[in-house]
Structure 1
């Protein structure tokens, strides 16, 4: 009887794992991009375009060091792609364009199950207008040790569940914005504004909408004293929590901004939990922000906030050649 139970359990486990076969696979197709011609492709977009539509195989696109002056799109029908450099300081994807439409960002991730590793993604347009370095629309996207650089509106965390770890994000105002459900862990948020501005502009528009940003064990810095706020509500029910994070003196004592509309004070949810540093003093915070108790903070401070244990996956440990090699 015990053996039958074990067999049933094993079969059930196999069924569950097969439904997540890509996410838990230890192998992936390897495609190399090298501008010198020593890889499969010389352009990143050509490598992405080579991935079959409705892809069901993990694909690891490895970039040789270099500055890639390209506008990159990962289409919605090409999931399970990893785009990786070896070091973010030497693997740079760059473009120069103001935010006119959805095609303006330097990199646009429309597909689900995307991973970015050891990359710098930047938009050099500015500093007098919005210029998006990265836009993420796809669900279940993760970024590790990446750098996102621009001025206003650097990172459009548009929709879906996203995870950022050990990333550096720089801008002037609203430089992390959108309506994603996202967990930022051990990230450095740096404002280069000398005239003030908000770090976040989260766009949750109703109480029932399950979106928001958590910043866990992060670092907040700026170029001056009292030059920035932690967030302002792009949507009336904007939701942002900072926990166990260092805040420099660049953070204004008030902490948060209602974007000139006092009605937002009743609906936005801005919380802080066990933060530290000169900018974390709560004595002069706006009265409508939340100083969280342990039970109140609990839902926000683990990867369960984004259901991360269900979809975050390890880096592949073995690689296979792509079925078709290019030399573009």
Structure 2
């Protein structure tokens, strides 16, 4: 299918169970199709389709990726906002690369542009277990990911900065596999630890009391190969909250680790609210983690934490 001009597709979404209404709309001015076979699309590489979007773009662009395994490192620059990158099914639309050693240079997909949407994609880094290997780096003021699979081993998702929403995503790794200093809500995501021994799911990097950042997990699921902790503080004011989340026995009884920094016991904010499953028992949790009341947890249950009423689509 060629480039379609003047095609209008309006997506108006209600937040529903998140108890917040989203007023975001997106009217597609251009649709680009990527097909690695060269039979159906405008481009055979995803990066070529992104490069075709004008600099300082002001109109929403929909890049449809046909099923296939796309072996390429992809970069969405800051001056190309309003891009939606969408497969049809994450199991059949795979973006993959093999690079490690540097969290900023290794990512398979890097997003700097605002108002980015990723849907129905597998984003993976196959470098392995010997070094840091980021699958997805998000340094975007506003970004959304729906039904994506994000897979690596160490430092899978660099959720670096900005406000982000992850809905119904599968995120897999062993060591600090969700890390960074964004303000992000993870809704109904499956987090799978492949750690053989004491891996950490999160390493949040909030550095001061004034920063409005943190990782917030609502109605998620945690499974694992062996044992892991929920998080450890990359920054002294690290903030992570798990709410209404199923925790398998993969979660170690202590729940959290201080990374050898006992001073963070006073400054880190690690909370749990109405979590359940064998790994959610708080009998042996570290004393500096919190069992939250509904009043304490309520700010972390809705889109308000990211001031997202007018930009998140779910």
TM-score by length of 1: 0.87
Counterpart mapping for 1:243-282 below 5 A:
243-282=243-282
2: CA distance, partners of 1:158 / 1:45: 21
> Given the alignment, which residue of 81, 87, 90 partners 2:83?
81
Write 1 or 2 for the structure with the bigger share of helix: 1
Q: In the comparison of the two structures, how many residue pairs are matched?
A: 291
The answer to whether the aligner puts 1:29 opposite 2:30 as a matched pair is: yes
Counterpart mapping for 1:299-318 below 5 A:
299-313=299-313
2: CA distance, partners of 1:199 / 1:126: 17
| Counterpart secondary structure, 1:309 | coil
* Cα pair 2:103 2:158 within 8 Å, conserved: no
* Cα pair 1:99 1:105 within 8 Å, conserved: no
- Unmatched 5+ stretches in structure 2: 1-22
2: CA distance, partners of 1:155 / 1:243: 20
Partner of residue 152, structure 2: 150
1: CA distance, partners of 2:268 / 2:216: 14
Partner of residue 223, structure 1: 225
User: Which deviates the most, 278-287 or 95-104?
Assistant: 95-104
1: CA distance, partners of 2:101 / 2:139: 16
| Counterpart secondary structure, 2:266 | helix
Q: How far off its partner does 1:133 sit?
A: 0.1
Partner of residue 92, structure 1: 94
2: CA distance, partners of 1:26 / 1:51: 16
| Counterpart secondary structure, 1:299 | helix
Deviation per CA, 1:122-165, whole angstroms, max 9, x where unpaired?
00002121100000001110000000000000000000000000
Partner of residue 160, structure 1: 162
2: CA distance, partners of 1:243 / 1:76: 33
Deviation per CA, 1:27-62, whole angstroms, max 9, x where unpaired?
331000001112000000000000000100000000
Q: How far off its partner does 1:101 sit?
A: 5.5
User: Which deviates the most, 76-85 or 28-37?
Assistant: 28-37
The two structures, once aligned, show a CA RMSD in angstroms of: 1.2
* Cα pair 1:99 1:132 within 8 Å, conserved: no
Partner of residue 202, structure 1: 204
| Counterpart secondary structure, 1:198 | strand
* Cα pair 1:173 1:199 within 8 Å, conserved: yes
Deviation per CA, 1:273-308, whole angstroms, max 9, x where unpaired?
000000000111100001001110011011111122
TM-score by length of 2: 0.91
| Counterpart secondary structure, 2:262 | coil
* Cα pair 1:215 1:245 within 8 Å, conserved: yes
* Cα pair 2:115 2:142 within 8 Å, conserved: yes
2: CA distance, partners of 1:128 / 1:188: 24
2: CA distance, partners of 1:269 / 1:310: 28
| Counterpart secondary structure, 2:84 | strand
> Given the alignment, which residue of 49, 53, 56 partners 2:55?
53
